[in-house]
Amino acid sequence: MHIAGQLNWIEELPAHSKAAIKERFVYRNLQAGETIKESGQPSEGMYQVLSGYVKLLADRPDGEQSLLLIYIRGNCFGESTLIARRPHHHTTIAASPTRIGFLKQEDFDELYHEHPAIPEALCRKFARALSSMIAYREKQNDTTVAQRVALVLRNLAEMSETSQVGSRRTIDVPITIAELSSFLGLTRQTVQKEISTLKRRNLIIKSQGAWTVQDMALLRVLAPVEEEQDSPI
């Protein structure tokens, strides 16, 4: 049930390979809501989130968009389109004020062939992504709706940049009930019902547009995680 995860393959590289990528990065600051790339656009390069949050969205037949993932600081995206030489399948937007690094396709191709550690690290990332996706599907069959909602809230709290104060932790990832619903594949009414139950138990509150988990220990009991999983691609 990971909507976000710690996955930074660049950080796994040897120092000289890591430095070679960062030397060629072009940096860009984005405002919340600004589009980074759109579904169907040709691939021009790959990206890394340096601060803030980025949402990965899928187009639906009804014209709406579903939330697939949230990229956090350190996450990279867009590499698979470069390797496969295909257009982007999804849209990414800045969910908050965000700073990204951009590596052009020609630079990526050159570094990919010059530094064997890069394709090795990417292979590990894609393998972890596949395992994570399979585990997510299996988890759906073994958990109740209440547990699925709690698991996503736990993931969001643990991936937030905020510090835990006592038992409390604020979720600084901008997200709506509609986005939670689309990620979980549930109706908005179903998710709202579970959120209301957690609020009545005083486990979560919402203030000034941000959710706060009142008791992280209790949330972890309600939403146990068997093992750490990496975020999908």
- Under a CB-based contact definition with an 8 Å cutoff, are residues 6 and 231 in contact? yes
DSSP assignment of 150-184, as one string?
Answer: HHHHHHHHHHSSSPPBTTBEEE-S---HHHHHHHH
Q: Is the fold of 9-137 the same as that of 144-222? A: no
pTM for the full model?
A: 0.89
Q: Where are the domains of the chain?
A: 9-137, 144-222
In degrees rounded to 5, what are phi and psi of residue 115?
-120, 100
Report angle CA 77, 78, 84 to the nearest 5 degrees. 135
What architecture does CATH give domain 9-137? Sandwich (2.60)
**pLDDT value for 143:** 84
- For the chain, list residues with pLDDT below 70: 1, 135-140, 226-233
The topology under which CATH files domain 144-222 is Arc Repressor Mutant, subunit A (1.10.10)
**pLDDT value for 7:** 79
**pLDDT value for 229:** 46
Residues 176, 190: Cα–Cα separation, whole Å: 14
In degrees rounded to 5, what are phi and psi of residue 73?
-55, 130
